[in-house]
Structure 1
Amino acid sequence: MTPPRALLRQMFDAAVASAQPALCVPPHLPSPDALNGGRLIVIGAGKASAAMARAVEDHWTGPPDSLQGLVVTRYGYGAACERIEIVEAAHPVPDRAGFAAAERLLAYVAGLRENDFVLALISGGGSALLPLPAPGLTFEHKQALNAALLRSGATIAEMNCVRRHLSAIKGGRLAAACPARMLTLVLSDVPGDDPVDIASGPTVADPTTCADALDILRRHAIEVPAEVRALLESGRGETVKPGDQRLARNEVRVIAAPQQALEAAAVVAQNAGYAPLILGDAIEGEAREVGTVLAGIARQAALHGQPIAPPCVILSGGETTVTVRGTGRGGRNVECLLACAVALAGQPRVHALMGDTDGVDGIEETAGALIGPDTLERGRALGLKARDALANNDGHGFFGALGDAVVTGPTRTNVNDFRAILIER
């Protein structure tokens, strides 16, 4: 039988592979006949957008000179393309390269012809990669706000609601500026798979309001500059709303999502003789609290065979949050996993892997980590206290010292967090 750690890694790799753009983009490409003499213009933003662009080039059957485009992705997540320009920028805290790319992208679509066909490739990470501020705000305002949101404990939907209302390109504004037909292909990295929350919905109508954004800032005690508050209070930051005729020629399709990644992992578990149980693909909450709850479920399964009997694997996805109070290296998946390990307290026969399918947990170039029954004991042997590391938001430091980090490099996809708890017979 495959060792638990190796099997957990196989499940994670299968989850990532199931959402590769080379698999999920080609079935949705428009036919050359649909262009009606126009051009296929590819635009996009996100960690997977360059790989999505490469999939377009590899499978486009129309004339090569009918294809062109501009896509922005995270540093290190580029892909070799001949006719689609790939620009790299910073994530999760934006930089000037992203600012310039967003300016170019907005001007690019505004200059297109009505008979062009725009293919928008959107994936998680696009919010930070398109940091073009609303009139009256500066790039520095957006940069500081992004950093504050990441530390606040706000959910991804809450963060992106605020971002949309302070942007010149998100919340449907990119599509509204485009005179051409548009098909938006989305890789979901958010609980619920709502396209408006993926990359803050640059091509999607937004039902939320400036008042909603203000309420989020208030509830999470996020201090903002006077210019930001004034823009929201005046309503000048309102986004493009459902029913707006400027988006009438835009179709939106979610082509990959966390559920399919969990199902791919479940197949690997089943083939290895472990019964899979998918708890859900949209689990949210404070990472350490989710980890504690998952540990309780795993302990019940190990001791009492409920809600599933060993040998089994308990799978879940979604996106937890971390309210940063310490000075550690962060990472919501490793924080969730460390809390799980603490709560399990060395429970025999229980192993787990938690990681981000984009290969980056927080700001570390590490996807996540693994635990087993001996994790806390091995930590103590090195002078590491798991509870202290958790209090300091230093999951990456703890697991890195143990050699238990999961490092994938750029996966060039993004379907959110992956959590697997394996319980041996």
Structure 2
Amino acid sequence: MTKNNNVQVTSASGISDSKLHRTVAGLLERADIQIGGSRPWDIQLHTPDVIDRAISKGNLGFGEAYMDGHWDVEQLDQFFYRLLNSQLDQHFKSRRHLIYFLTASLFNLQRGKRAWEVGQFHYDLGNDFYQTMLDPRMNYSCGYWKNADNLAEAQEAKLDLICRKLGLQPGMRVLDIGCGWGSFMGYAAEHYGVECVGFTVSQAQADWIRNHYPGLPVEVKLQDYREVEGTFDRIASVGMFEHVGRKNHREFMGVANRVLAGDGLFLLHTIGNKKTTTVSDPWTEKYIFPNGDLPSASQIAHASDGLLVAEDVENFGADYDKTLMAWHANFEAAWPDFRDKLGDRFYRMWRYYLLSCAGAFRARELQLYQWVFSKEGVPGGYVRP
């Protein structure tokens, strides 16, 4: 495809094409991004509609234009880092942003059948696909890179950090809410001698766990978290709270309070927004995580108020940048095996997803929180290991 970086934009906004192009080019210059530049983070426009789609539809239109092959950037992660670090995304909010805000405010998008949509749409994409992208234990959440040199080490370090923060001891009964492919349960059972029960809304994940942990005290249930029964010494929820939704945060914490033993601990590992008012990105909502809703720190605190005692909070969101870049490297290496099955538009979609998220964590627009809660307060106080 021939590049046309001096394209005259046909605008639906009423602004003359050349003026709109100059205005956008001027905004991008604030982030040290050039239209048609030679640096790896400069944007190359292939068709005349990209800028107008970004103006009229925000990131939904901009992301779809990338999926359609209408623009390219060699290093998407650097492009989005610069864009977000300069707050330029605020200039491209559209009326659709208001629609998504009202939808999230007025409707409970994570109840009933909707609670199962993300499992069917995203996590059931195929275990073979995720196996090539993730580490050997199939962790699909942020690794802990403090003393790690590669993805597998970072994910093992994350799992061990969770076990130590929970103070796991042999014989404990542990609940994993949103257990993924069972990485935490398998590690905790192997290394700390605990018995685990996990809940997931993904059939593919449940099948994986049953096939890979037959000799360990690990049980998986294909059920919504609201259906949890019994009492557990410890609870972990790793990378699942992002799907709960603000209208259900309090109910989620109520479930944890109901099933946690009186002297128990609950660790919540979740991506977080830096602002409470931010709503789900419409492109991510449509193509990656339907009904997703990233919480802020204040929303988590409010949801647990009076139900649980917040003993400890740690933020290592910068580590998600490294994790996503490692996933992207694995994805690129494995892509030839999936090209015929998934197609080039999927490739561009998945690349946009991984690298735009890496840029967002690099710019610290997104955080990664680990909260440790007790039910009634740890006597003498909790000490982070």
**Considering the TM-score relative to the shorter chain, is it more than 0.5?**
no
As a proportion of its length, which structure holds more helix?
2
* TM-score relative to the length of structure 1: 0.32
* TM-score relative to the length of structure 2: 0.35
